[in-house]
Chains A and B, each alone.
Chain A
């Protein structure tokens, strides 16, 4: 499988404060390290699930890939070309070939523009020829199973599911190679979340897409992803094939996540608590392994020495001194 997207040693950090007084202060080392040393590949035609709890940096990672959040270190290679620099210009080609779906489908559509105008906007921005705007909008709406009349609606007149579909249509406007989907089913009812995922699966086949799906929903991502990347506090802690991770998680955090998911079967109620404590503040990262404060199997070494991200098989890696067997 060819690599479509390569991320190597990517870090994102923000200066903590930029008030006027900071210019005069000697200590300018205060940075919020949101992402730390992320290395991750996405193969052509692959669906990668990016999983983590709030504050894990999963959304920031997706945004950094498109240059919407400036990276402070690391390289991004897309479709054989390295992205040089952090400017909007450097990301121009990539934003033409990769599209993003946002977590809040209504809020991510410009509120005073009609759906039709929003759908043809990618063409206009990238100077793609467009013979008939109405026809192009209708074609995109048909692609996601919406009637052409929706082109005349405003975003706030759409239901959550309909706005999702418009988001999908907009992402596909320029026949992208890759789609980054941030929580594609957030806010949808169980009975309709499958519709969006099935639609995405169908379009993946039709257009030869590769997906990065950002989510906290393990039950769902299990059915749609080929590989998983688990994040904790801005770092990758485990990467591997979805089936393998569900069968045998190697990182204690991954296992805790899997076990914390409530099971919709009263006969399989959990007797004990999978994980205690809360995610530490990113301002106050634990020394050593960042998960040791909540880890059930942490030992002395974990409190002092940060584990490396170790590959144990092709495409599989875990950041743990004592991976589970």
Chain B
């Protein structure tokens, strides 16, 4: 295999809504290589979850892919038939969501569901599937895994459910794991445990992990490389250290400044970004961040291209240069 495991190129996604066409993603390109944890960070409405859904083939019915390709192992998965896409999603691409309850049916036992998730493995019998499920539960840190298989989802606590959802995602040994806000619904002590779990898992897992989050702390703790999204576009991409210490795009900088966890000393007034996220039905012509940007000038009326700043650092801003 040449090239990265996952490569999204120039992806544009529109939603048809009663208010008009919403451009959820515009010309988004991301890559994730084997053994890499890639973070996608941004605020609500930036398109990060749409991107995750597009890769996972889970876009809602009113979405349409206007342009671009999603290449997985050098094949454009948008051009595959629906059967092949489904198969790919069951075997090679797995997802973990914010609300672990949505991953499970309330009326079946955990064991039945974890066995059913392996339905594509036709050469393995049920007892073996059950053994695999039990082993996977134990691996994500669930005690009494054998007993848990006989229980129902509602009998588990939130943290256990998220662990089980991760176990379910990893059952088929996928080469791409997409975690959409995996810790957002959890308390901070459980969030720390899930972060820790994902970190231990990646050690002996050589697929790619894509973590989508609005939480800068989660991204900093988990990721190798980060894409920052704003209004449906990638505005900056960089290795995690560079992003948190040498951010170049004004939005990334402002976002980092706003995080109260980054202020060492107690502050009486907290920094904010003035204005609101642009209405995605009527996007401004130029830079989408310009209306809120303190540095905006005349140049920003023209839409900036992604400028490469170094080998693996790029920002979509007129004011940056290598």
A–B contact (CB under 8 angstroms): yes
- CB-CB nearest in chain A for B190: A278
Which of chain B's residues have a CB closer than 8 A to the CB of A197?
270
**7 new A-B contacts at CB < 8 Å, known A53-B189, A190-B43, A195-B272:** A219-B259, A222-B266, A223-B266, A259-B192, A261-B188, A262-B221, A264-B262
Query: In the assembly, what is the distance between CA of A275 and CA of B193, in Å?
Result: 8
Contact B189 A264 (CB under 8 A): no
User: Which of A79-87, A90-98, A266-274 contacts the other chain?
Assistant: A266-274
CB-CB contacts of A231-242 with B at 8 A, as 1s and 0s? 000000000001
Closest Cβ of chain A to B25, distance in Å, is 19
Contact B241 A194 (CB under 8 A): no
| A-contacting residues, B255-269, CB 8 Å | 255-256, 258-263, 266-269
Which of chain A's residues have a CB closer than 8 A to the CB of B192?
259-262, 270, 273-275
Nearest 7 Cβ contacts at the A-B interface: A262-B217, A194-B270, A219-B261, A191-B273, A53-B187, A260-B192, A189-B43
Query: In the assembly, what is the distance between CA of A219 and CA of B267, in Å?
Result: 11
Q: Is A282 an interface residue (CB 8 A)?
A: no
Contact A261 B217 (CB under 8 A): yes
Q: Is B228 an interface residue (CB 8 A)?
A: no
Candidate in A159, A259, A265, A274 with the most chain B CB atoms within 10 angstroms: A265
Contact B256 A262 (CB under 8 A): no
| B-contacting residues, A188-245, CB 8 Å | 189-195, 197-198, 201, 216-220, 222-223, 242-243
Which of chain A's residues have a CB closer than 8 A to the CB of B259?
190, 219, 264
Which of chain B's residues have a CB closer than 8 A to the CB of A278?
157, 159-160, 189-190
Closest Cβ of chain B to A298, distance in Å, is 16
Query: In the assembly, what is the distance between CA of A54 and CA of B188, in Å?
Result: 10
Q: List 22 A-B contacts (CB under 8 A).
A: A53-B188, A161-B276, A189-B44, A189-B277, A190-B255, A194-B258, A197-B270, A198-B269, A198-B270, A201-B269, A223-B263, A223-B266, A223-B270, A242-B266, A257-B189, A259-B192, A260-B189, A263-B217, A266-B223, A273-B196, A275-B192, A279-B189
- CB-CB nearest in chain B for A192: B272
Closest Cβ of chain A to B204, distance in Å, is 18
Query: In the assembly, what is the distance between CA of A270 and CA of B217, in Å?
Result: 11
Closest Cβ of chain A to B106, distance in Å, is 19
The size class of the interface chain A forms with chain B is: 35 or more
- CB-CB nearest in chain B for A194: B270
Contact B214 A190 (CB under 8 A): yes
| A-contacting residues, B210-237, CB 8 Å | 214-221, 223
Q: Is B65 an interface residue (CB 8 A)?
A: no
Which of chain A's residues have a CB closer than 8 A to the CB of B256?
264
Contact A220 B189 (CB under 8 A): no
| B-contacting residues, A269-297, CB 8 Å | 269-270, 273-276, 278-279
Which of chain B's residues have a CB closer than 8 A to the CB of A223?
260, 263, 266-268, 270
Closest Cβ of chain A to B164, distance in Å, is 13
Query: In the assembly, what is the distance between CA of A189 and CA of B43, in Å?
Result: 6
Q: Is B254 an interface residue (CB 8 A)?
A: yes
Query: In the assembly, what is the distance between CA of A191 and CA of B190, in Å?
Result: 25
Query: In the assembly, what is the distance between CA of A263 and CA of B262, in Å?
Result: 8
- CB-CB nearest in chain A for B200: A273
Contact B217 A201 (CB under 8 A): no
Q: Which of A194, A260, A279 contacts B191 (CB 8 A)?
A: A260
Query: In the assembly, what is the distance between CA of A262 and CA of B41, in Å?
Result: 15
Query: In the assembly, what is the distance between CA of A266 and CA of B195, in Å?
Result: 13
Q: Which of A53, A220, A269 contacts B260 (CB 8 A)?
A: A220
Which of chain B's residues have a CB closer than 8 A to the CB of A220?
260, 270
Closest Cβ of chain B to A223, distance in Å, is 5
Query: In the assembly, what is the distance between CA of A218 and CA of B187, in Å?
Result: 12
Contact B244 A264 (CB under 8 A): yes
Contact A266 B266 (CB under 8 A): no
Query: In the assembly, what is the distance between CA of A262 and CA of B260, in Å?
Result: 12
Q: Is A256 an interface residue (CB 8 A)?
A: yes
Which of chain A's residues have a CB closer than 8 A to the CB of B178?
none
Closest Cβ of chain A to B109, distance in Å, is 21
Q: Which of B219, B261, B266, B272 contacts A191 (CB 8 A)?
A: B272
Query: In the assembly, what is the distance between CA of A270 and CA of B221, in Å?
Result: 8
Which of chain B's residues have a CB closer than 8 A to the CB of A267?
241, 244-245
Query: In the assembly, what is the distance between CA of A261 and CA of B218, in Å?
Result: 9
Contact B270 A262 (CB under 8 A): no
Which of chain A's residues have a CB closer than 8 A to the CB of B221?
262-263, 266, 269-270
Query: In the assembly, what is the distance between CA of A160 and CA of B153, in Å?
Result: 31
- CB-CB nearest in chain A for B45: A189
Which of chain A's residues have a CB closer than 8 A to the CB of B269?
194, 198, 201
Closest Cβ of chain B to A81, distance in Å, is 32
